[in-house]
Amino acid sequence: MPEREKVQFLIISSREGVQEQIRNFYVMGFAQVDEWSPIVPVPNSDRVMTILTRYRQRLASDKSTRKSGR
């Protein structure tokens, strides 16, 4: 079992909405502005998106066989 698990946070909105939320997360101390991926267009949409990737340590008690996500 890998020691770390990737956790990703996705923001999809207008460019202004994405930028505002990135600033809000910065003010809350959740993420630095430069931790987010570059803003890119969402295909077939007038919206854009960005992703923040973090990693968490897997614990021995984590259930690696559970697939439902619940």
Three-class DSSP labels, the chain? CCCEEEEEEEEEECHHHHHHHHHHHHHCCCCCHHHCCCCEECCCCCCEEEEEEEEEECCCCCCCCCCCCC
Mean pLDDT of the chain: 90
70 pLDDT higher than 70: no
The predicted pLDDT at position 45 comes to: 97
44 pLDDT higher than 80: yes
pTM above 0.75, yes or no: yes
Residue spans of the domains in the chain: they are 4-57
* pLDDT digit string, tens, across residues 53-65: 999 998 877 765 5
Average pLDDT over residues 13-21: 99
